[in-house]
Amino acid sequence: MDLEAVRTFVAVADAGQFQKAATDLSITQQAVSKRIAALERDLGVRLFTRAPRGAELTIDGRAFLPHARELLRVAERAVASVRAGRRPLRVDVISSRGAASGLMRDFHGAHPEIDLDVLMLFEIETAVTAIRSGTIDASFRAVAMPGRRLPEDIESARVVDEPLELLTGPGHALAAARSVTLADLVGHRIWMPGIVPGTEWGAYYDDLVAEFGLTIEATGPNFGSDALLDTIADTPALATFMGGHTRLVWPAGHGLRRIPVIDPVPVYPHSLLWHRDNPHPALPTLREHLTATTPGLDAAGTWRPSWVRPR
C-alpha cells in the first residue's frame, strides 16, 4: 500500500476538500485525485463522494480512516527508530552481571538523556556481524583470539582490565586464604561450565592453562550462574573463576568465598568494538565516557592479558 496515498487520504478527510488538501501537501489537486483513485483501486471501495461543500467520507472511508492514521503513526515510528539521533544506542554487554553491564549502568547514570538498548550476544563473530550490519552500535569483547584479526572496518579500544577471582565453597582447601597465587591453584579443579571452544573466552582459558599448568574443566551443561553457585558451595573439590567486577548474590547459607588471585593478577581484557563509519551521535559520547572513567589502558586494544610474560 502506498503510504503517500494513505497520507493524502487522511489530508483530504481532515480538510474536507481536495483543493485544500493539495495546498496542505504542496501538490496539485490533480495529484491528490490520482492518489485517491489509486488507493480506492487498491482497496476495492469508494472512499469519498463529491458533495456541494467538498469531499465527504463514504461508510468505507469512515471505517478506513482510523486505520489509515495508525498506518502513518507506525511509519513515523519506524523511521524514527533508525534516524540518526532518534533511535536508542544499541550496545552488547555479553552478560547482565558482568563488568560491561556495570560500565553501561555508569554511563546511563552520567548521561540519562541518551536512550539505550542493552542486549546480550554470545559469540564474538555474532557481535562483529551485528556491528557491521548496523544491528548494534557497539559490543564489549576480548577483542580477538590469537591468530584471528578483527575486520578492518571494526575499531576497538581497551576499556577495562577486570581482575580474576577464585570462588570457592566453605569446604574447599583454599577457602580460608586471603589471596592465592596462580601457582597455588595448580592441582586444584577449576570448573567453568559453558566455555565453548573457539570463543574468545575459550581461547583466554586455553592460554591460562598453557601458561600456568592449571586444571580447568568445562564438563556438563551450563545451567546458569545460580546452578554454578549451588554446585561450588556443595562441592569442596571444585572452585571456579569469576570476574572481580561481576555482581552475584547467593544465599547466606552457601558460605561462598571470593578470593583475589595475585602474583601475577590475571585479568579479563574488555574492549569496546564499533564500526568506524557508525554515525550514531551518542557513540562518541560513550567512547569519551569510557576513556575518562577507565584511564591508563592501551587505546588500541589487545587480546593478550597482562599476566602473559614475555618469552
Residues 204-239: tens digit of each pLDDT: 888 889 889 999 998 878 888 888 999 999 999 999
Q: What is the pLDDT of residue 301?
A: 43
- Cα–Cα distance measured from residue 68 to residue 57, given in angstroms and rounded to the nearest whole number: 13
Grid cell listed for 18: 481536495
Q: For cell 566453605, what's the residue?
A: 170
With 0-12 / 13-18 / 19 or more C-beta atoms within 10 angstroms meaning exposed / middle / buried, residue 102 is middle
Nearest Cα to Cα of residue 101 among 302, 243, 300: 243
Side-chain-side CA neighbours of 67 within 13 Å: the count stands at 7
CB burial readout 147-186, b (16+ within 10 A) else e:
eeebeeebbbbbbbbbbbbbbbbeebeebeeeebebebbe
What are the residues facing 270 on neighbouring strands?
160
Grid cell listed for 141: 569483547
CA 213 to centroid of chain Cα atoms: 35
Q: Within 10 A of 50 (CB to CB), how many other CB atoms are there?
A: 9
CA-CA-CA-CA torsion sign (280, 285, 288, 292): negative
- Cα–Cα distance measured from residue 159 to residue 275, given in angstroms and rounded to the nearest whole number: 16
Q: What is the pLDDT of residue 296?
A: 58
Q: What is the pLDDT of residue 303?
A: 45
pTM tops 0.85, yes or no: no
CA 296 to centroid of chain Cα atoms: 25
Amino acid in the structure at residue 213 = G
Does the N-terminal peptide bond of residue 264 adopt cis geometry, omega within 30 degrees of 0?
Answer: yes
Q: Is 92 helix (H, G, I), strand (E, B) or coil?
A: strand
First to last CA, the chain: 66
Q: What is the pLDDT of residue 51?
A: 80
Q: What is the pLDDT of residue 76?
A: 81
Q: What is the pLDDT of residue 311?
A: 38
Residues of the chain with pLDDT under 50: 299-303, 309-311
